[in-house]
Amino acid sequence: MEGITIIRSANTGVSGIISPEGNILAKLSLESKGVVDYRLNVRTIETVYSIYREKVFYLIMLTLLFLIGISFFYDYIFKVKKSNGS
């Protein structure tokens, strides 16, 4: 998994945090009891949703509504022209 921070937690094994570059940020050794406390910067990667929020959803819904409307009116117009032409 490239580009994401890995957080591994184990009851009796090695627990730790590994950066996207592969550096060990924090570590708890084998058979050790304790807490790994580390502040992660989780907002480093911008996604489509983080930039546009619900606008993408509204655009998709509007496009679907438009396509359904076109298909409905296309069939209606085509049937009217066909019945008038006969």
Question: Which is more confident, 12 or 17?
Answer: 17
Terminal CA-to-CA distance of the chain, rounded, Å? 65
Q: How far apart are CA 86 and CA 4, in angstroms?
A: 66
pTM of the model: 0.44
Question: Which is more confident, 7 or 3?
Answer: 7
Task: Please give the structure tokens belonging to residue 83.
Answer: 């019945």
Q: pLDDT confidence of 29, banded at 50, 70, 90? A: confident
Amino acid in position 24: I
Span 9-29, average pLDDT: 86
